[in-house]
Amino acid sequence: MSEAKGMNLTLKVWRQKNASDKGKMVTYQVSDISPDMSFLEMFDVLNEDLLQKGEDPITFDHDCREGICGMCSMYINGKPHGPLDGTTTCQLHMRNFKDGDTIYVEPWRAKAFPVLKDLSVDRTSFDRIIQAGGFISINTGNAPDANEIPIPKDIADEAFNAATCIGCGACVAACKNASAMLFTAAKVSQLSMLPQGKAEKKKRVEAMVAQMDEEGFGACTNTGACSAECPKEISLEHIARMNRDYLNAKLTSDNV
């Protein structure tokens, strides 16, 4: 049996030397790309070719390459993480493209995600939102037995759904207002829905929403693009829940 023929592709990639550089799209040709390669492996091949030519390789974020860490943030042909639903860039394979295709690759576009170099952006704004309230500070003791604190399955499932957020920022990239509502709501929900997180529920949602606004993220558009492009398919219900929690917190807050 003969091996599958490799693909020849045209890549138009955003190149930007640093945060102050204007940046531009640069065209590259890659050949004999295996359909079984991941998108990041294809970029590895391109970078090896650039290094052999004495050119500066393309900077992009990556780590686990298993769809877990959320580092592989690329805007591919106008969609965060590419054409497949529920898939990170590192898990996107080249068989989803055709021989001769032209592929456009850009970094996330958001005021709160400034470009560091090429396709790499600064997402420490997400870290600061987490630091504002995405934790439990009360003493909960040692890990209890699984059945010691009964939690209804539907609530446990919803909390787990929220906890699957990997903080990649695709929701921000997909939103025309660059809103971080889905990310923030997921981090609020995964704690506030469980008994251990209820003690700080009001303080947490106030602090995290305030930090989100301070970072310069836009308002929610209510179009649902964030959930549609989320590689972990986080539900919009978490945004509705956070809005209810925030309103309740503000109506009873001491911070007035």
143 neighbors 75 (Cβ within 8 angstroms): no
pLDDT of amino acid 1: 44
pLDDT tens-digit readout, 159-194: 999 999 999 999 999 999 999 999 999 999 999 998
* Tokens 């809103």 -> residue: 179
Give the span between the Cα atoms of 81 and 118, in whole angstroms: 16
Contact 32, 122 (CB under 8 A): no
Q: What is the pLDDT of residues 198-213, one digit of tens each?
A: 989 999 999 999 999 9
Give residue 181's identity as a one-letter amino acid code.
M
Q: Which two tokens stand for residue 180?
A: 């971080």
Q: What is the pLDDT of residue 253?
A: 73
Q: How far is CA 238 from CA 37, 57, 200, in A?
A: 35, 39, 18
How many whole angstroms separate alpha carbon 91 and alpha carbon 43? 13
- Answer yes or no: pTM beyond 0.95: no
What one-letter code names the amino acid at 111? K
- Residue from 174, 149, 148, 157 nearest 75 by CA: 174
Report all structural domains of the chain as residue ranges with CATH numbers, in order of start: 7-106 (3.10.20.30), 123-251 (1.10.1060.10)
